[in-house]
Structure 1
Amino acid sequence: MAGKNEEVLVEAFMTKRSQNKRTFTHTNWKERWFVLSPKNLIYYDGDKQSGRRKERGRVELIRVVAVESVDTAVFQRDFVFQLCYLSEDDDQYVLYIAAPTAQDREQWLDYIRKLVADNDCLSDKYHQGAFIKSQWSCCKGGKNTIACTDVTWTINHNNNPPGHPTPSPTPPNGLPSDMNPAPKIVVALYDYNATERGDLSLRKNEEFEVLEQDQEHWWKMRNRQTGMEGFAPSNYVRELGTPDIQQYDWYLGDATRQRAEVFLMQQEREGCFVVRNSTTNSGVYTLSVYTKQSHPQVKHYHIKKDPEGNYYLSQNIKCKTIPELIYRHQHNPGGICARLRPPTLGRTAPATAGLSHDKWEIDPSELNLLEELGSGQFGVVRHGKLKSLDVAVKMMKEGTMSEDEFIEEAKVMTKLRHGNLVQLYGVCSRQRPIYIVTEYLRYGSLLQYLRNKERILLNNTDVLLDMCLQVCSGMAYLEKQKFIHRDLAARNCLVGAHNEIKVGDFGLARYVVDDEYTGSGGAKFPIKWAAPEVLNFMRFSSKSDVWAFGVLMWEVFTCGKMPYGRMKNAEVVDMVQHGRVLEKPRFCPSDVYNVMQQCWNANAENRPSFNEILRMFQDE
């Protein structure tokens, strides 16, 4: 029997299948509290906090024959794994356990495999299926049929007594092992296909050792299973063992309250939920849940933490981690509006900072140019394929920009990375005209999108505000990076497949040869978006971007109307210089228009920053 003070390595709620040791017993699945110690896997009923847990079973790890994943289609359950073990009479049994997520399953498999690696009874084969109706589903054999599938992990066959691990080898530099820092191990969050020599492909949930992380956005890694090495995007991995929840599709990160509401209202599923960072308290998380109670709405709950470090939404369900808490509330509403259901739309992989760890110059022969997306003063924009990647290719007209200066700056711009910025992948600069290759977004210009969807959008101010806040989030990042856009407007923002809004063409206006360049609206220099200090002194700053953002908000809440209507540029300049601003759009809420007015403060120093604008709408 394990003592009460036996070391606990990991513990969590999971569901287990009854083992049917007697032929007449009914098969079912029940939620149990699993505890893994160095010698035993024990499961209890009751919950962890009550202290009144009753042990329902245990497996001595020294008796484990195999620990593997199961073909989950057999049980119609996700993330099932199995422990094959011997009884005291040397009969073999199988314990089937369903973990909350794929990552949880991999964590438990990894822990148990390390603890049983020196067992003398380990098998080289296992049944990938399940023993159901007196036969194995994988090979149709009877109970004692020899296992049919090779194990997926390395077994340590050695002469050490059971339970005694193999001594660690002496470090190559001769230092004691405790003086060598432990390697940083990360887990892939997304699949990534390497396209350049020296880069490394990733597969979701695989583990990698970080070898170099001198570059912020690209780390050199080694695949722990295959031994292959190379560079991969750092935003595609998370550190193993951290409490970070970004691995889950229901985690939306820094999404605003409005973004979460728009996302969930589009799904229209009772109990559909997301978890996001609280916008009022750093380090705190918020659960947003869709419900049809009373009327379709999204309710928001702060995920609280008690003095013992347990997370909870209501006092009757507390858990050690947020994923465990979410898992419990998927089976029991426990005081919130509905039982939780994960969103059906999975998260898409983010854009990488450039195409590779050291590539920003693109060979035009690698590009397959497709349909035209648009054209303007700078040139034509076409949809393209760069190997398997969808891209947008801006084919610059010769003489429209200071090309050499821009090409030098492009090396820096490829390293700017944010979910609400159009990612610059690189340039084709060894030919004329030069090409600028960026991320491709399905629905194109925000301006045209607003005009096309006017009938739908004018009645949904939450969606319109969400668009503005996404732009604001991207601009807040540029502001932090000390990067000035200089031409922020709806025409220079793009809309992606999941209605994500991204700011494009940032910094491009700086390299225009003619200051009187033509905007896409047909007017000379974009005066209708220009702050007074720009009109008077050509003084650009993040605060002049804030002024332009106020005009962009006006564009959004009018669904793409031209600011100042048909007024001539000279009339607009006179109006701005005399302190008169755009009128409130018809369907615009007063608090939103109040923010626009703050953006249009004649004194640049008195305008809010982009971060301050975000906080104005984040009162939870």
Structure 2
Amino acid sequence: MGEKKRDFMMKRAMNKGTFINASNYKSRWFVLDDSLLTYYDGTLDKQGKQKGCIELRKVKAVETVEDCVLDKKTNVFQVVHGAQKNNDILTLYIVAQSDNQRQDWVQQLRKAAEKSDAQFMPKYHKGVWINGNYTCCNQISKNAIGCEITTTERGRVQSSPPLVIPAPVIPEPSQKKIYVAVYNFTPTEEEDLELIQGEEYEILDDSREHWWRAKSKTGKSGYIPSNYVKKKFDLEMFDWYYKSFTRERSEAVLREEQREGCFLVRESSAPGMFTLSLFTSENDGQVRHYHIKKNDKGFYYIAEKYAFPSISELVHYHKHNSAGLATRLKSPPTRNGTAAPATAGFSSSKFEIDPSEITIGEQLGAGCFGTVHEGKWRGKRVAVKMMKESAMSDDGFIEEAKTMTQLNHNNLVQLYGIVTKKRPLIIVTELMQYGSLLSYLRRHKARLANKTATLLDMCSQVCNGMAYLEKRKFIHRDLAARNCLVGQSTVVKVADFGLARYVIDDEYTSSTGTKFPVKWAPPEVLSFTRFSSKSDVWAYGILMWEIFTGGVMPYDKMKNVEVVDYVCHSRQRLEKPSNCPEKIYKVMLQCWLHEPDKRPSFSDLLQLLGGLLEQGNYPFISTT
């Protein structure tokens, strides 16, 4: 490089990420040579002691910073680099005395770093990290990949022909909250707004959990279901992303398609990790699973030498290059049969339903609550539950039902609304075409007998819904296979949560006269009527047992009073189902621990079941 480059500028103190003030800035002499950027204290007239240095080979980016975003300062530039003792990425902000000085230092630093074989990042943040997010793109992770392509990356792309078709350039995010509709939505009330799949909408108010106020590109505004839109550039807006699919469900969907290169990306059982599932016609058709890993720069990869800042860019690359996969990615499964998710109520404000708008069809079933019919509300297929007047206590239920309409999850049967102005009381819910899980298990017992992964997947879906209720401090009180429903593509959803408190029926009465389902109840409920999420966990263990026995009645040869003695005093438990693997039975036993606080939570169980599905006695996961 020849002579050393020297200049007097200010630097921002390292790791000052939240509160910015004048004391965070120090005047320093900066000296650049062939291998180091070194800075010293002192005055404009005299250079003092060395205060720090950066090895040029560890530089990741040298870029300007948007004016006025760093404590309203101008002429700022940044040197992104690796830490001296570990792989952490740090950013040094330097305030030049003029724009010419800034541009000169940026160019000279880049050249010197390139000569030192520095490995530049493809993207950087042109803003700064303040108050928990980046000023340029509002990302809330300090280690988030940059939003702007670096100057060196732009130069590299322009000077050499690309090996693959380039991914579309993602425009710089604006301050507006822009979301994309992933499903169509037809409003039922005047205050709601129509959604058209693929169209962009500006979110005006997202203070309510399930219904947001939005504006379309034509300027119309109204309320939309929040689960029908996804943030622009989030994974969930891509048609290949199947967020909560298990390994079993992924294989079932891809095998049904039977198309070479058909693929999807899903969450792995390990938090924050992802898996690519891919169908290949080799060996008469099989599904291969590839962990998507992260390198020390935070880039995603399947084959280590092909790493990308985002999963969408990784997918784009592998659509054109197999690069370690069994075949290149071609297209995701068709979603023609995938229904839009249920909304929390029919609209943003509708709870009470006019009985004249309901058409009641054939009866689907009957139970202690009343009869269930297939029905229609304004042309939409629904389930209509007509409650027995003698079987229901209205006190408190109507207020409770208002809360229940706001519980919305893929593994919960959605309560849309109720009819209270006419008797009998009517509850309108989402329609599940295959009926109760209990009857489904009994109908398909022979077919499901050795399908361990399918049965475990059913358990996992129920656990997913219960983890949601647990997080919301909502206790089911009557979790059992009879109170779960099965829909298209073997989706299992929890139903009738919270209703047990209002039912009047002998089947739910213990020897002490209290009301609850005795054979699904833990010791603390049988002895003291103490309900909690941990009593739901016990019932969940019984439900798992039902699933793995094909719908056998638990304690089938015992009366209720005998069950109480067996569980509370003898402390005995149900025996392992004949086709159930030992490690799955051990999960049931954890649910049946005598002391409630020693039982796992549903979130713990969900992670445990995910691990069993991903890595249990099933085919290995490919990583190359």
Task: Report the TM-score, using the length of structure 2 for normalisation.
Answer: 0.68
Q: How does 1:412-561 map to 2 (within 5 A)?
A: 412-513=403-504, 517=508, 525-561=516-552
Query: 2:247 is matched by which residue type in structure 1?
Result: R
Further displaced range: 469-478 or 313-322: 313-322
Q: CA deviation at 1:99?
A: 9.6
> Contact 2:368/2:505 (CA < 8 Å) preserved in 1?
no
Q: How does 1:30-109 map to 2 (within 5 A)?
A: 51=156
Structure 2 Cα separation of the partners of residues 509 and 210 of structure 1: 38
Q: How does 1:326-365 map to 2 (within 5 A)?
A: 326-346=315-335, 347-365=338-356
Match of 2:235 in 1: 245
Q: CA deviation at 1:336?
A: 1.9
Structure 2 Cα separation of the partners of residues 529 and 296 of structure 1: 42
* Deviations 1:387-418, CA, capped at 9 Å, x for gaps: 13211110001132221411111111111111
Q: CA deviation at 1:56?
A: 6.7
**Aligned-partner SS, 2:319:** helix
> Contact 2:445/2:550 (CA < 8 Å) preserved in 1?
yes
Structure 1 Cα separation of the partners of residues 177 and 156 of structure 2: 36
Do structure 1's residue 193 and structure 2's residue 186 form an aligned pair? yes
Match of 1:15 in 2: none
> Contact 2:460/2:610 (CA < 8 Å) preserved in 1?
no
Q: CA deviation at 1:368?
A: 1.4
Further displaced range: 197-206 or 209-218: 209-218
Alpha-carbon distance change, 296 to 614 in structure 1, aligned in 2, over 3 angstroms: farther
Structure 2 Cα separation of the partners of residues 337 and 603 of structure 1: 49
Q: How does 1:166-185 map to 2 (within 5 A)?
A: 182-185=175-178
Structure 2 Cα separation of the partners of residues 317 and 450 of structure 1: 45
Selected match of 1:303 from 282, 287, 292: 292
Q: CA deviation at 1:55?
A: 5.9
Alpha-carbon distance change, 585 to 266 in structure 1, aligned in 2, over 3 angstroms: farther
Match of 2:400 in 1: 409
> Contact 1:377/1:517 (CA < 8 Å) preserved in 2?
no
> Contact 1:417/1:423 (CA < 8 Å) preserved in 2?
yes
Match of 2:588 in 1: 596
> Contact 1:527/1:535 (CA < 8 Å) preserved in 2?
yes
> Contact 1:276/1:287 (CA < 8 Å) preserved in 2?
yes
Q: CA deviation at 1:248?
A: 2.0
Do structure 1's residue 318 and structure 2's residue 310 form an aligned pair? no
Query: 1:201 is matched by which residue type in structure 2?
Result: E
**Aligned-partner SS, 2:412:** coil
Structure 2 Cα separation of the partners of residues 610 and 291 of structure 1: 35
Match of 1:141 in 2: none
Match of 1:371 in 2: 362
Structure 2 Cα separation of the partners of residues 52 and 198 of structure 1: 49
> Contact 2:293/2:300 (CA < 8 Å) preserved in 1?
yes
Query: 1:342 is matched by which residue type in structure 2?
Result: S
Structure 2 Cα separation of the partners of residues 262 and 56 of structure 1: 40
Do structure 1's residue 203 and structure 2's residue 192 form an aligned pair? no
> Contact 2:470/2:533 (CA < 8 Å) preserved in 1?
yes
Structure 2 Cα separation of the partners of residues 295 and 583 of structure 1: 39
Match of 1:580 in 2: 572
| Corresponding residue pairs, total | 459
Alpha-carbon distance change, 437 to 99 in structure 1, aligned in 2, over 3 angstroms: farther
Structure 1 Cα separation of the partners of residues 602 and 159 of structure 2: 54
Percent identical residues: 53
Selected match of 1:274 from 264, 287, 297: 264
**Aligned-partner SS, 2:489:** coil
Match of 2:380 in 1: 389
Structure 2 residue ranges without an equivalent (≥5): 1-61, 65-122, 124-152, 615-624
Match of 1:257 in 2: 247
Q: CA deviation at 1:600?
A: 1.0
Structure 1 Cα separation of the partners of residues 325 and 165 of structure 2: 24
Structure 1 residue ranges without an equivalent (≥5): 8-34, 36-47, 58-96, 115-180
Structure 2 Cα separation of the partners of residues 528 and 186 of structure 1: 47
Structure 2 Cα separation of the partners of residues 271 and 460 of structure 1: 26
Alpha-carbon distance change, 605 to 6 in structure 1, aligned in 2, over 3 angstroms: closer
**Aligned-partner SS, 2:403:** helix
**Aligned-partner SS, 1:235:** helix
Alpha-carbon distance change, 587 to 49 in structure 1, aligned in 2, over 3 angstroms: farther
**Aligned-partner SS, 1:556:** helix
Structure 1 Cα separation of the partners of residues 546 and 303 of structure 2: 43
> Contact 2:538/2:591 (CA < 8 Å) preserved in 1?
yes
Structure 2 Cα separation of the partners of residues 618 and 209 of structure 1: 36
> Contact 1:377/1:518 (CA < 8 Å) preserved in 2?
no
> Contact 2:416/2:429 (CA < 8 Å) preserved in 1?
yes
Structure 2 Cα separation of the partners of residues 515 and 587 of structure 1: 33
Further displaced range: 306-315 or 560-569: 306-315
Structure 2 Cα separation of the partners of residues 98 and 494 of structure 1: 46
> Contact 1:262/1:466 (CA < 8 Å) preserved in 2?
no
Give the superposed CA RMSD.
3.2
Query: 1:238 is matched by which residue type in structure 2?
Result: K
Do structure 1's residue 611 and structure 2's residue 603 form an aligned pair? yes
**Aligned-partner SS, 1:198:** coil
Alpha-carbon distance change, 569 to 292 in structure 1, aligned in 2, over 3 angstroms: farther
Structure 1 moving runs of 4+ over 6 Å: 97-100
**Aligned-partner SS, 1:331:** coil
Match of 2:139 in 1: none
Alpha-carbon distance change, 573 to 266 in structure 1, aligned in 2, over 3 angstroms: farther
Alpha-carbon distance change, 395 to 319 in structure 1, aligned in 2, over 3 angstroms: same
Structure 1 Cα separation of the partners of residues 601 and 235 of structure 2: 29
Structure 2 Cα separation of the partners of residues 223 and 404 of structure 1: 42
* Deviations 1:404-447, CA, capped at 9 Å, x for gaps: 41111111111111110001101011111110011111111111
Alpha-carbon distance change, 212 to 474 in structure 1, aligned in 2, over 3 angstroms: same
Q: CA deviation at 1:274?
A: 1.8
Alpha-carbon distance change, 246 to 443 in structure 1, aligned in 2, over 3 angstroms: same
Q: CA deviation at 1:302?
A: 2.2
**Aligned-partner SS, 2:610:** coil
